[in-house]
């Protein structure tokens, strides 16, 4: 039975792993015939022993490159798949036991998967969800009206889902997921493919809803604007392992070794020899932008000021997208250098 959650994390993961055996089909007819008798497989380790705790009411970003294990982890926590080893509980439930009591307390939204009937109006799918989750009629109508009002889609409920825009469909997907008022929400790329306006609308809704309901949300996204707008805590996973767990601002301190310095030169300054002060990113007289090692910024600026007339200086951290990309690349390099080669195994 689920345990009391008052003094323990909502999500608890310990040593969780998930591996797959993938058939390696070779090219050519002869190789295909041999494969009927003697098959070769490769082990793919999607999740490699992660440990993670998430407290009640947290909005956590789960970031990583494609193939890092993000979606696999959400599927494990949703009970869609079983782990190879390790432990996990969500609100005291073991997800892969697939208990009905657990299913009624969480929701999973995947930006690339539809849960609504394509040829029917969304309101018909909502009614189906009402029956599946056994939602009282008054509560169902109250929740539906509240969500559709917040997302500004009430007038679209009678329109077939296939006729809606991508942004409108995602709003309907979120409504369907939240009809039973889950305590935990797993979001896998909810704004993928949406335009800037639709992304902003989804972000504002999630921010408002989470603040009002104080639910626990685990979000995966490749859009850093989603992360910056919604999440105070960020977990970075690469090649199935957690590489960082901390604040959004801490990512820059942990993974960025440089600053971006923009200089406004006085009229008539030759702006010469800038390469010796740092990596020149851009020169559009009278402005120049340099990338300078974080620890070298004070002495480099002093050297520039001693040789040039500078009217304005701006020192900034690099863009978050760049820092995250560097973190992914660094993690891949470290894992590649330290991990054992993947062994192919044969079975008849």
Task: Annotate 280-310 with DSSP letters as a single string.
Answer: EEEEETTEEEEEEEGGGHHHHHHHHHHHS-E
pLDDT of residue 340: 46
Over residues 238-261, the pLDDT tens digits come to 888 898 999 988 888 888 889 999
Rg over alpha carbons for the chain, rounded to the nearest Å, is: 25
| Three-state DSSP class for residue 17 | strand
pLDDT classification of 179: cutoffs 50, 70, 90: very high
pLDDT tier at 342, thresholds 50, 70, 90: very low
Q: Across the chain, what does the average pLDDT equal? A: 87
More confident residue, 140 or 31: 140
Local structure of residue 37 (DSSP, 8 states): H
SS3 198: helix
**Stretch 142-169: mean pLDDT, rounded?**
94
1 confidence band (pLDDT: 50, 70, 90) = very low
12-16, 28-32, 170-174, 272-276: least confident range? 28-32
Lowest mean pLDDT among 120-129, 210-219, 335-344: 335-344
φ, ψ (nearest 5 deg) of residue 234: -130, 135
pLDDT of residue 323: 84
How far is 2 from 60, CA to CA, in rounded Å? 23
Give the model's confidence band at 35: pLDDT under 50 very low, under 70 low, under 90 confident, else very high: low
d(CA 292, CA 298): 10
Q: What are phi and psi of 81, to 5 degrees?
A: -130, 165
Residue 106 has pLDDT above 70, yes or no: yes
- pLDDT value at residue 335: 62
Asked if residue 92 has pLDDT above 70, the reply is yes
Task: Tell me what the mean pLDDT of segment 201-229 comes to.
Answer: 92
What is the per-residue pLDDT for 345? 34
Q: Provide the pLDDT for residue 343.
A: 37
According to DSSP H, which parts of 94-178 are helical?
Answer: 100-103, 122-132, 137-150, 166-178
**Pairing label, strands 258-265, 310-316:** antiparallel
Q: Which of 87-101, 144-158, 271-285 has the lowest mean pLDDT?
A: 271-285
In this prediction, residue 89 carries a pLDDT of: 97
Give, to the nearest 10 degrees, the angle between helix 196-213 and helix 137-150.
140
């Amino acid at each position: 039975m689920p345990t009391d959650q008052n003094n323990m994390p909502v999500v608890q993961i310990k040593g969780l792993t998930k591996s797959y055996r993938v058939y390696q089909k070779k090219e050519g007819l002869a190789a295909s015939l041999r494969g009927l008798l003697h098959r070769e497989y490769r082990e793919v380790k999607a999740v490699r022993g992660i440990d993670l705790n998430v407290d009640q009411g947290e909005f956590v970003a789960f970031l990583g490159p494609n193939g890092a294990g993000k979606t696999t982890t959400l599927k494990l926590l949703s009970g869609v798949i079983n782990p190879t080893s390790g432990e996990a509980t969500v609100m005291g439930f073991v997800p892969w036991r697939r208990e009905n009591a657990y299913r009624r307390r969480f929701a999973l939204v995947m930006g690339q998967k539809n849960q609504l009937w394509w040829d029917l109006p969304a309101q018909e799918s909502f009614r189906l969800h009402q029956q599946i989750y056994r939602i009282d009629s008054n509560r169902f109508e109250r929740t539906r009206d509240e969500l559709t009002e917040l997302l500004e889609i009430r007038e679209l409920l009678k329109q077939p889902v296939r006729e809606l825009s991508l942004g409108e469909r995602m709003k309907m997907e979120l409504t369907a997921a939240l009809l039973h008022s889950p305590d935990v929400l797993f979001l896998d790329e909810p704004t993928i493919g949406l335009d800037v306006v639709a992304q902003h609308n989804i972000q504002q809704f999630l921010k408002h809803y989470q603040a009002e309901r104080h639910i626990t949300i685990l979000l995966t996204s490749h859009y850093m604007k989603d992360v910056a707008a919604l999440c105070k805590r960020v977990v970075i996973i690469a090649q199935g392992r957690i590489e960082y767990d901390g604040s959004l601002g801490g990512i820059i301190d942990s993974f960025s070794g440089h600053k971006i310095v923009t200089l406004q030169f006085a009229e008539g300054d030759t702006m010469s020899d800038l390469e010796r002060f740092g990596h020149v990113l851009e020169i559009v007289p009278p402005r120049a932008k340099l990338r300078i090692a974080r620890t070298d910024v004070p002495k480099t600026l002093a050297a520039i000021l001693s040789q040039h007339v500078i009217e304005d200086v701006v020192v900034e951290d690099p863009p978050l997208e760049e820092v995250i990309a560097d973190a992914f690349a660094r993690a891949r390099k470290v894992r590649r250098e330290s991990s054992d080669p993947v062994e192919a195994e044969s079975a008849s």
